[in-house]
Amino acid sequence: MQALSIPTWIIHVSSVMEWIAAIWLVWIYGEVTSNKSWRALSLGMLPALIGAMCACTWHFFENTLSLEWLVTLQASMTVLGNCTLFLAAWWMVRRVNVKPNDF
Protein backbone atom coordinates (compact mmCIF):
# COMPACT_ATOMS: atom_id res chain seq x y z
CA MET A 1 0.00 0.00 0.00
CA GLN A 2 3.01 2.30 -0.11
CA ALA A 3 2.37 3.14 -3.77
CA LEU A 4 0.24 6.12 -2.71
CA SER A 5 0.37 8.48 0.24
CA ILE A 6 -2.38 8.45 2.86
CA PRO A 7 -3.96 11.70 1.58
CA THR A 8 -3.99 10.31 -1.97
CA TRP A 9 -5.63 7.10 -0.72
CA ILE A 10 -8.27 9.17 1.06
CA ILE A 11 -9.02 11.01 -2.19
CA HIS A 12 -9.15 7.78 -4.22
CA VAL A 13 -11.42 5.93 -1.81
CA SER A 14 -13.71 8.89 -1.14
CA SER A 15 -14.06 9.49 -4.90
CA VAL A 16 -15.15 5.88 -5.42
CA MET A 17 -17.62 6.15 -2.53
CA GLU A 18 -18.99 9.44 -3.89
CA TRP A 19 -19.42 7.89 -7.34
CA ILE A 20 -21.34 4.95 -5.83
CA ALA A 21 -23.57 7.42 -3.94
CA ALA A 22 -24.11 9.45 -7.13
CA ILE A 23 -25.11 6.34 -9.09
CA TRP A 24 -27.57 5.37 -6.37
CA LEU A 25 -29.06 8.88 -6.08
CA VAL A 26 -29.46 9.22 -9.85
CA TRP A 27 -31.21 5.83 -9.96
CA ILE A 28 -33.55 6.84 -7.12
CA TYR A 29 -34.31 10.14 -8.87
CA GLY A 30 -35.19 8.20 -12.00
CA GLU A 31 -37.59 6.02 -10.02
CA VAL A 32 -39.21 8.96 -8.22
CA THR A 33 -39.76 10.89 -11.46
CA SER A 34 -40.58 7.75 -13.49
CA ASN A 35 -38.02 8.96 -16.01
CA LYS A 36 -36.12 6.03 -17.51
CA SER A 37 -33.42 8.28 -18.93
CA TRP A 38 -32.15 9.04 -15.41
CA ARG A 39 -31.88 5.33 -14.70
CA ALA A 40 -30.00 4.93 -17.99
CA LEU A 41 -27.64 7.64 -16.80
CA SER A 42 -26.97 5.72 -13.59
CA LEU A 43 -26.21 2.58 -15.59
CA GLY A 44 -23.98 4.63 -17.88
CA MET A 45 -21.96 5.63 -14.82
CA LEU A 46 -21.03 2.02 -13.97
CA PRO A 47 -18.09 1.59 -16.40
CA ALA A 48 -16.41 4.65 -14.88
CA LEU A 49 -16.86 3.11 -11.42
CA ILE A 50 -15.29 -0.14 -12.62
CA GLY A 51 -12.35 1.83 -14.03
CA ALA A 52 -11.85 3.63 -10.72
CA MET A 53 -11.92 0.34 -8.86
CA CYS A 54 -9.30 -1.07 -11.24
CA ALA A 55 -7.01 1.87 -10.50
CA CYS A 56 -7.46 1.51 -6.75
CA THR A 57 -6.85 -2.24 -6.91
CA TRP A 58 -3.66 -1.80 -8.91
CA HIS A 59 -2.37 0.81 -6.47
CA PHE A 60 -3.39 -1.32 -3.47
CA PHE A 61 -1.09 -4.08 -4.73
CA GLU A 62 1.73 -1.55 -5.16
CA ASN A 63 1.51 -1.33 -8.95
CA THR A 64 2.62 -4.93 -9.39
CA LEU A 65 3.62 -5.68 -12.98
CA SER A 66 1.62 -8.92 -12.95
CA LEU A 67 -1.52 -6.78 -12.52
CA GLU A 68 -0.63 -4.31 -15.24
CA TRP A 69 -3.62 -5.57 -17.23
CA LEU A 70 -5.72 -3.60 -14.75
CA VAL A 71 -4.33 -0.40 -16.26
CA THR A 72 -5.58 -1.47 -19.69
CA LEU A 73 -8.95 -2.46 -18.24
CA GLN A 74 -9.16 0.88 -16.42
CA ALA A 75 -8.45 2.80 -19.62
CA SER A 76 -10.99 0.72 -21.53
CA MET A 77 -13.64 1.31 -18.88
CA THR A 78 -12.93 5.04 -19.02
CA VAL A 79 -13.52 5.10 -22.77
CA LEU A 80 -16.63 2.91 -22.46
CA GLY A 81 -17.89 5.04 -19.57
CA ASN A 82 -17.44 8.24 -21.55
CA CYS A 83 -19.43 6.71 -24.42
CA THR A 84 -22.23 5.41 -22.19
CA LEU A 85 -22.50 8.74 -20.38
CA PHE A 86 -22.66 10.54 -23.73
CA LEU A 87 -25.43 8.22 -24.92
CA ALA A 88 -27.39 8.62 -21.68
CA ALA A 89 -27.09 12.41 -21.88
CA TRP A 90 -28.15 12.34 -25.53
CA TRP A 91 -31.18 10.24 -24.59
CA MET A 92 -32.08 12.70 -21.82
CA VAL A 93 -31.90 15.65 -24.21
CA ARG A 94 -34.04 13.88 -26.81
CA ARG A 95 -36.54 12.82 -24.15
CA VAL A 96 -37.34 16.40 -23.14
CA ASN A 97 -37.56 17.47 -26.80
CA VAL A 98 -34.85 20.08 -26.50
CA LYS A 99 -32.75 20.67 -29.56
CA PRO A 100 -28.99 20.49 -28.81
CA ASN A 101 -28.51 23.90 -30.52
CA ASP A 102 -30.81 25.51 -27.94
CA PHE A 103 -28.17 25.30 -25.21
pLDDT over 90 for what percent of the chain?
A: 80
Query: Which among 92, 85, 78 has a CA at the least distance from the CA of 29?
Result: 92
55, 74 contact by CB (below 8 A):
yes
pTM: 0.84
Predicted local distance difference test score (pLDDT) of residue 1: 56
Predicted local distance difference test score (pLDDT) of residue 3: 72
- Model confidence band, residue 45 (pLDDT cutoffs 50, 70, 90): very high
- Residue pLDDT, tens place only, 65-80: 999 999 999 999 999 9
Phi, psi for 68 (deg, rounded to 5): -60, -20
Instruction: Classify the C-alpha dihedral 39-21-87-58 as positive or negative.
Output: negative
Residue ranges in the chain assigned as alpha helix (H): 6-33, 36-44, 46-60, 69-95
